[in-house]
Each structure stands twice: as structure tokens, then as C-alpha cells.
Amino acid sequence: MKETGYNLNDLLDNLSSHCHEHGMRITPQRTAVYELLLQSKEHPTVEMIHKQLRKKFPNVSLDTVNRTLHTLADLGLAEVVPGSGGAKRFDAPANEHQHFRCVKCQNIIDFDYDEFENIKLPRKIREKFTIMRKSLYLEGICENCRSKNNN
Ligand SMILES: [Zn+2]
Ligand SMILES: [Zn+2]
């Protein structure tokens, strides 16, 4: 999630219109989960959102948070960051961006890659499929972990 390029109120409006369209109730908890996800820079796990949410809703269950995050993903308002291993990580991208995951500290770092975002896909693919999104996922060792290893 980038610092700029979105307005929280607009996105919350977006949530209510999406919920409305799908005949879902907008509960304060759902709104709070979405808000936490939008404000987080960490690509949080279900557990991380749950921990935050409990400050406001002490009785909310992990399962509720889990279901809410998956509902948001179904509505196209959240995404599961690609990649294998470890707990599922969520993102609420307002802008197209790519991900790097450190295999040591499990940090997920956003980056932009214009050449990739504007890539012209092979004709064979364009003819066969309607592409709705594409992502580049890199896995490796981050700067921090690399410098720790060298010391
Ligand atoms: Zn991201
Ligand atoms: Zn790292």
C-alpha cells in the first residue's frame, strides 16, 4: 500500500457500496477490519488484524476476522499476497504494486516496477484470456537480513 493516492473516506464509501451490491450488511467490525488493512503497511496476517481489532472490539473472534478478510477478498477489496509458506498475508491495494518477501524475517516489501506494469503480454495469452490483474512476486533476503548476516 502506497502512502499516497487514496483517500480513506472514499475507500470506506467503496466498501459500503460493494457490500450493498452484494446484499451484505456493513457492520462496524467489517468496516474496522477494512480500515486496519488499509492503514497497515505490513501486509498483515489474520492474527495481526485480530490483535489490532481487539483493542476496539474485545470480543471479536479470530474466525470473524478471518471470514471478513476473505469476504473483502471476494469483493475485490483485499488481496492475498502471493507466495508460499507461512501464514496468509493480506493487502488492500489502491494502486498496482509488486511484492518482495524476505524468507528470513517474513517482511513483505512493496515496490513499483513500471516496465512490468506496462508489459505487453504475448499475443497467444491476450487472445486466450482476459487479463484482470498481473503481479510480480519476488522472494529472497532483504537488505536488513543481508547486512545482519555479514556482521
Ligand atoms: Zn502490497
Ligand atoms: Zn529480512
The CATH number of residue 69's host domain is 1.10.10.10
| Structural domain includes residue 1 | no
Measured CA to CA, the distance from residue 22 to residue 134 in angstroms comes to 25
Residue 134 reports pLDDT greater than 50: yes
Q: What mean pLDDT comes out for the span 128-143?
A: 92
Report how far ligand 1's centroid is from the alpha carbon of 41 (Å): 8
The per-residue pLDDT of the chain, averaged, comes to 88
C-alpha cell, 145: 537480513
Report how far ligand 1's centroid is from the alpha carbon of 99 (Å): 6
Contact 33, 72 (CB under 8 A): yes
Contact 104, 66 (CB under 8 A): no
**Higher pLDDT among residues 138 and 24, named by residue:** 138
**Higher pLDDT among residues 145 and 11, named by residue:** 145
For 108-122, how does the pLDDT look when each residue is reduced to its tens digit (9 = 90+)? Answer: 999 999 999 999 999
| Structural domain includes residue 115 | yes
Q: What mean pLDDT comes out for the span 103-112?
A: 93
Q: Are residues 13 and 76 in the same domain?
A: yes
Residue 124 reports pLDDT greater than 70: yes
For 2-59, how does the pLDDT look when each residue is reduced to its tens digit (9 = 90+)? Answer: 444 567 788 888 888 888 888 888 889 999 999 999 989 899 999 999 999 999 999 9
Report how far ligand 1's centroid is from the alpha carbon of 43 (Å): 6
Report how far ligand 1's centroid is from the alpha carbon of 37 (Å): 11
- Choosing from 51, 80, 109, the residue where a domain stops is 80
What is the number of the ligand closest to the CA of 102? 2
Number of structural domains (the chain) is: 2
The domain of 61 spans 8-80
Kindly list the distances between the CA atom of residue 42 and the CA atoms of 114, 118, 120, in Å, as whole numbers in the listed order. 22, 26, 30
Residue 104 reports pLDDT greater than 60: yes
Measured CA to CA, the distance from residue 145 to residue 104 in angstroms comes to 7
